[in-house]
Structure 1
Amino acid sequence: MSLIQKYNVPGPRYTSYPTVPYWEETLFTVNQWKKSLLESFIASNTTEGISLYIHLPFCESLCTFCGCNKRITKRHDVENPYITAVLKEWDLYCELLPERPIIKEIHLGGGTPTFFSPENLTTLINGIFKNANSAEEHEFSFEGHPNNTSYEHLQTLYDLGFRRVSFGVQDYSEKVQKAIHRKQSFHNVAKVTFWAREIGYTSVSHDLIFGLPFQTLDDVLDTIAKTNSLQPDRIAFYSYAHVPWIKGNGQRGFKDEDLPKDDVKRELYEKGKNELLARNYIEIGMDHFALESDTMTQSFKTGNLHRNFMGYTSSKTEVMIGLGVSSISDSWNAFAQNEKSLEDYYAKLNKDELPLFRGHILNNEDLIIRKHILNLMCQFKTSWNDATTYFPEITTILPNLTEMEKDGLLEFGDQSILVTEKGKPYVRNICMAFDLRLKRKTPQTQLFSMTI
């Protein structure tokens, strides 16, 4: 049996621990969330600031590879009511906080943030800063669709303090693009990349996906060659998460047998990764690459790389407030998620309530396991040699780690492990060995995408 066949099992992506399916929702209350948020905010606002994730859910067309919460519409009269609602949610948080927040990070995600007009994005960001200050070394970023990101979008957001932009590329093959309903030319991607650099953005990122329907090795190598010709500062090169049982018909625009699997799929990644490494990209965390000059690389080298519901970030803030439908907030000791339905989101805000519908309060064990999983995802190593990182169940985890050591995926140190180069593609599996909640309650239905 190959390593792919052995370790390609359903598993979490670990943007949080505990993962969302294992949240103890019945023990969560909005008052507990507010208390936890206040405690973390008071302790960290003036030292490290806070992060904001703002979810902008609208898209004009459905991309069938996408697992995000979105609303498909061509009606742009939805923009103003949504921004009004997001700013009202922010006002509710600011009324709760004892002092003006210092914002270190903002990320606009979606959906399609550039569905919104530059004027409305200006209203949104200016509205945020009516009740907040920006940190001296802030990092503001947004996701742009190459087909509808205009020069005005880029200039407007730059003028508002944004210096990072991520463009979704996925794959340049026409056959693949047709299957995932995401048609865009290399010309469009090159155009917005050059515009961003001309305006002064310091970090341009391209998102690529392997494992898409009908995708071949030649497709991946062609996409990476075209990407390399533009030299984006960062590249996310990650596995397509096939979760049609969660997203319904949105991921049924093709048949399961149209997807590359197991060793074939892994070859797409390995050959693609080798091309990136040969072009001076450095592997950062799981499925991410960056040039030496990028802040992500510097954070990785200094041990400051962080991972949360926004993905990998260059620095950590203990408080991350999620605004907008389905967004998740994190106070470090608690998680809280907004209503996933737009109608329910609006309804709670109309009653002057935070639009939350579930969450989780982390216990001491959760906090320790969270540290280990963050260490593995961000630094490819972890240890349990002191009171803040030791937990009794480590003795039950070691047998699984020993099996992975035999397979060359990790090396043991003195009460520590180091993920090897061979093991980096399997880091999610290594994290799963530490996931006590997953070990205690094996899913009876499909919850997660495959790890490889």
Structure 2
Amino acid sequence: MNTAALLKKYNVAAPRYTSYPTVPYWDTENFSANGWLGSVANTYLSYKNEGISLYIHLPFCESLCTYCGCNTRITKNHSVEVPYILAVLAEWGMYVDALREKPKLKELHLGGGTPTFFSAENLELLINGILENAILAPDAELSFEAHPANTTTGHLTTLYKLGFRRLSLGIQDFDPKVQFLINRFQTPEQVALITTQAREIGYTSVNFDLIYGLPGQSIRGLTDTIKEVIAMQPDRIAFYSYAHVPWLKPGQRHYTEKDIPIGDEKFALYHSGRQLLDGAGYKDVGMDHFALTTDSLFQAMTEQQLHRNFMGYTSQHTHLLIGLGVSSISDCWTAFAQNPKTVEAYLDKMNLGTLPVEKGHFLTDEDLEVRKHILNIMCKENTVYKEGIPESVYGRLLPLLHDKLICVTEKEIRITARGKSFLRNVCMAFDEKLWLKQPKTQLFSSSI
């Protein structure tokens, strides 16, 4: 079966597996905030020497990018910045109290929304407040997401002085037709300027986000975009499939299904994009990610140290990830917790002095076992069952084995070169909760 036929066959709704169980399958009824804090403290005591990861969600944007699936709040009112920062710092204080000491910080990421919606001065207020209650590890990785159209030299220099060395720019596509439909505007010149400034200041890793399958996108337009990107030589590139979920994100109704490339047209976008990146020396890293061989993400993969969590792929492996701010998800390895999804609900809980977790899940022994194999496939492209592959899992793997996407022995499952584009499909074979209870409505985006 050729590549196009495989892409068509396996283009099914599938989780992205930033966690297992996936959020729709959490057992929220048996979750409690007190139990969650107890799990956090236990994990911290068990792994305190490795340090912790911290994700801070900054939801505000001045305009809505209609393709976006993130949790955002659209406003031009910048007076929201300081109250939100103070709430985040108060939440951080609750976790530090639960840990009973200042933790070692191994990784910190600012996501959004648009972190550069906040002024450089207010971002400094936020980070200084975090670091007052943490010990920054010598090899800590600090990174932030930025909009090319509003990132200033002040943002870059201020965050660099605070320890940030990695920058991620949301590009998506440079084609003016696509930018109009998705309401996201930035020019190659703006992106090149920020990239150059960042490197001159001292940033050691620059990531660009690109999306295939956007409304109005064409092979020619995407090819031109990727050629512009390659000329700027970002250290990493995330090449994501557009997730069309208008039932969750009404902004995607700005265009119609007729504008969106599907089927063979979308597969061609994906295939041509991958070929261009491969030809420019970018190497596959896990799912949707490409990196130069000099980047730490590629090096982590070659050293079998690649990790995946709610922030995506990372070269830092920690068992405790704390998410701060609206909609953030935390992971203490044996449990997950998510904050309220609206700014008002989040701030209401903070004003009451209550830990702002809204729902969560305590992992069972079976959950932990399944999670281990999914993480192995996502990060190492193989996994081993000590007692042999369970019959149920093996049965689900047979179509993938027949199509030569995996190699299987009595105990091991390994991804083939052909199968690297189908990691989500392979992981579905392990997902016991998905097979026990098939969704009656569409919960996940298409895998390709």
How high is the TM-score relative to the length of structure 1?
0.97
TM superposition shift of 1:292: 0.6
TM superposition shift of 1:4: 2.7
Q: Which residue of 1 aligns with 2:332?
A: 331
Report the residue type matching 2:261 in the other structure: P
Q: Which residue of 2 aligns with 1:285?
A: 286
Report the residue type matching 2:436 in the other structure: R
Q: Deviations over 1:398-420 (max 9, x none)?
A: 12211111112111134111111
Report the residue type matching 2:278 in the other structure: L
Q: Which residue of 1 aligns with 2:344?
A: 343
TM superposition shift of 1:96: 1.2
TM superposition shift of 1:98: 2.1
Q: Note if contact 2:111-2:144 (Cα within 8 Å) is conserved in structure 1.
A: yes
Q: Deviations over 1:62-112 (max 9, x none)?
A: 001100000000010000100010001011111111221100000000000
Counterpart CA distance in 2 for 1:7 and 1:289 is 21
Q: Which residue of 2 aligns with 1:21?
A: 24
Counterpart CA distance in 2 for 1:378 and 1:209 is 21
Q: Which residue of 2 aligns with 1:371?
A: 372
Q: Note if contact 1:325-1:340 (Cα within 8 Å) is conserved in structure 2.
A: yes
TM superposition shift of 1:221: 1.0
Q: Deviations over 1:336-357 (max 9, x none)?
A: 0001111111111111111010
Of residues 134, 146, 149 in structure 2, which corresponds to 1:147? 149
The answer to whether residue 392 in structure 2 is matched with residue 396 in structure 1 is yes
Q: Which residue of 2 aligns with 1:432?
A: 428
Q: Which residue of 2 aligns with 1:10?
A: 13
Of residues 134, 139, 146 in structure 2, which corresponds to 1:132? 134
Question: Superposed, which structure 2 residues align to 1:222-371 within 5 Å?
Answer: 222-247=224-249, 249-371=250-372
5+ long unaligned stretches in structure 2: none
Q: Note if contact 2:287-2:378 (Cα within 8 Å) is conserved in structure 1.
A: yes
TM superposition shift of 1:385: 2.2
Q: Which residue of 1 aligns with 2:93?
A: 91
Report the residue type matching 1:234 in the other structure: R
Counterpart CA distance in 2 for 1:402 and 1:10 is 19
TM superposition shift of 1:383: 1.4
Counterpart CA distance in 2 for 1:406 and 1:96 is 50
Q: Which residue of 1 aligns with 2:51?
A: 49
The answer to whether residue 162 in structure 2 is matched with residue 160 in structure 1 is yes
Question: Superposed, which structure 2 residues align to 1:112-131 within 5 Å?
Answer: 112-131=114-133
Counterpart CA distance in 2 for 1:104 and 1:3 is 40
Q: Note if contact 1:52-1:322 (Cα within 8 Å) is conserved in structure 2.
A: yes
Runs of 4+ in 1 over 4 A off after TM superposition: none
Q: Secondary structure at the match of 2:429?
A: helix
Question: Superposed, which structure 2 residues align to 1:437-452 within 5 Å?
Answer: 437-452=433-448
Q: Secondary structure at the match of 1:300?
A: helix
Q: Note if contact 2:15-2:22 (Cα within 8 Å) is conserved in structure 1.
A: yes
Supply the RMSD in Å over aligned alpha carbons. 1.1
Q: Which residue of 1 aligns with 2:181?
A: 179
Q: Which residue of 1 aligns with 2:401?
A: 405
Counterpart CA distance in 2 for 1:262 and 1:400 is 24
Q: Deviations over 1:257-276 (max 9, x none)?
A: 21111222112111111111
Q: Deviations over 1:379-435 (max 9, x none)?
A: 21111125xxx67xx211212211111112111134111111221111101101110
Q: Note if contact 1:245-1:446 (Cα within 8 Å) is conserved in structure 2.
A: no
